A and B are shown apart, each in its own frame.
Chain A
């Protein structure tokens, strides 16, 4: 017990750990909030797609500048992510291909091209490219102080924008036609929303890796849905779930040798999800089973009474 407490206290006192824990929590908070909108707009897998589009962006950024620095990589990834979302939009709007296939096409094409670029960089003997793939597989624990600060800063900014535009995003997610009718530029709002998702994903990649970053957006949002029917509460809950997962990830991975922060955060989020599925007060399995059996009982009572009436008649 004492040890447990000490290890938790270390998160607050050890400067390096403190930054990592703070960064992961802020990242969880911002992606949890933004993920709610992605979930409600049925774009849950957008995060996964954007994460994969980052690879060619990073490679091109490296080829153009020749430097391995986080801000440069992030910029490249963001540009590629936005290009990816635009490509999805063009494909779905201009052909009969549906959204899921368009995402699959963009995801694998961009990543394939990224791998081609990555191997070309490797084979050109341009020194070590290890920084490139480290960015992709996510190593929160090995991130240096300035990287974590950048991630934390970006996350804070995302949280701020998300709170500021809450009302507009809500309208956009629920009824885009009405939003347009109410005088909002839906295409601008939509672009801002996509940009937020892209930024959240790119900020998350270095902490949890390309494959797992989608979980930061979806899992807390889906979990929150089991507890409430109201958007404002859903967003707060989702942010809180994301924060808890980030904290747990940072803490557990600091305790167990060689355990990576990102996957542990994702597993923590998955645990929260499991608890929500079982015990969620609005849509949890337990609640559903109770209401269903209650409905059945009411029905039987009703049928019993009508039957007795018929007999009496």
Chain B
């Protein structure tokens, strides 16, 4: 198991956001975290990474506390979390992925630039390397973020809604990227909102609504009953979505 989460809980004021979340992620899989709005999906990722404080519980990655293995973990935050007016260009953003490995005083040099360029090419963005980031489309910005995560050269990736608001071409590029990462033996955990594509894209799925509703291989866990339990009142929508997905597969 590459990631073990046990009894993780967080709260906003007196409201529990995550309650007693436990799961163990197998290595080399694409794993989706799915659940309704406010289910705590992003919070789960941030709490695992230690970016927001937890009320209790433990996280171990590669069998060690997270602080020891940060260079082996890649993170793609939500696109809205940064200021795209920041005076920098795409290549430079990708190079930021190398900062953790550079340590305290070393500066990014020719080697980092080459790696960053390669990563940009990996998402089909090499032509936009020198482009100011505010002049990129939403999908292009997302691809730059993914390239930055690639530059981190991690073994375990966390991605927060990478498919949100992207064009079809970018969606396709992201899926290809995810599959390539899997073929290289990496594990990717993705917060995902589009139920229809879950069976097609992901090996395992974690259904989350404050607590873990179900976790396991998509074929076993992504069922109507489990979705009903996770989405509660919005079940009609959820079921319709799975019906569509099944229809698409058929």
Interface residues, chain A, with chain B CB atoms under 8 Å away: 96, 288, 291-292, 294-296, 298-300, 302-303, 306
Contacts and interface: CB of A to CB of B under 8 A. Distances in A.
Nearest to B134: A96
A292 B9 CA distance: 12
Given A288-B13, A291-B14, A299 B85 contact: no
A294 B13 CA distance: 10
Contact of A296 (B7, B20, B56): B56
Interface residues of B, number: 12
B11 interface: yes
A197 to B, nearest CB: 27
A46 B173 CA distance: 46
Contacts of B85: 96
Contacts of B1: none
A247 B29 CA distance: 67
A302 B20 contact: yes
A191 to B, nearest CB: 27
B19 A302 contact: yes
Given A96-B85, A295-B55, A303 B7 contact: yes
Query: Secondary structure of the A side of the interface?
Result: helix
Nearest to A291: B14
B69 interface: no
Nearest to B9: A299
Interface in B1-44: 7, 9, 11, 13-14, 16, 19-20
* Chain B CB within 10 Å, residue with most, of A292, A299, A300, A303: A299
Contacts of B9: 299
A96 B83 CA distance: 11
A303 B9 CA distance: 10
Contacts of B16: 295, 298-299
Nearest to A290: B14
B14 A306 contact: no
What 6 A-B pairs have minimum CB-CB distances, sorted nearest first? A291-B14, A96-B85, A295-B11, A299-B9, A295-B14, A303-B20
B82 to A, nearest CB: 13
20 contacts: A96-B134, A291-B13, A291-B14, A292-B11, A292-B13, A292-B14, A292-B55, A294-B14, A295-B11, A295-B14, A298-B16, A299-B9, A299-B11, A299-B16, A299-B19, A299-B20, A299-B55, A299-B56, A302-B20, A306-B20
Interface in B51-84: 55-56
A300 B55 CA distance: 10
A291 B15 CA distance: 9
B247 to A, nearest CB: 37
A96 B85 CA distance: 7
A295 B11 CA distance: 8
B133 to A, nearest CB: 12
Contacts of A306: 20
Contacts of B56: 296, 299-300
A306 B6 CA distance: 13
Contacts of B134: 96
Contacts of A294: 14
Contacts of B7: 303
B112 to A, nearest CB: 28
Contacts of A288: 13
Contacts of B19: 299, 302
Nearest to B55: A296
A225 B11 CA distance: 21
A28 to B, nearest CB: 31
Interface string B137-158: 0000000000000000000000
Contacts of B20: 299, 302-303, 306
A140 to B, nearest CB: 40
A288 B11 CA distance: 12
A306 B212 CA distance: 13
Given A295-B11, A295-B16, 9 more contacts: A96-B85, A291-B14, A292-B55, A295-B14, A296-B11, A296-B55, A299-B11, A302-B19, A302-B20
Nearest to A288: B13
Contacts of A291: 13-14
Contacts of A296: 11, 55-56
Contacts of A299: 9, 11, 16, 19-20, 55-56
Contacts of B55: 292, 295-296, 299
Contacts of B11: 292, 295-296, 299
A86 B14 CA distance: 42
A292 B13 CA distance: 6
A306 B56 CA distance: 16
B58 to A, nearest CB: 13
A155 B122 CA distance: 64
A303 B134 CA distance: 47
A142 B2 CA distance: 73
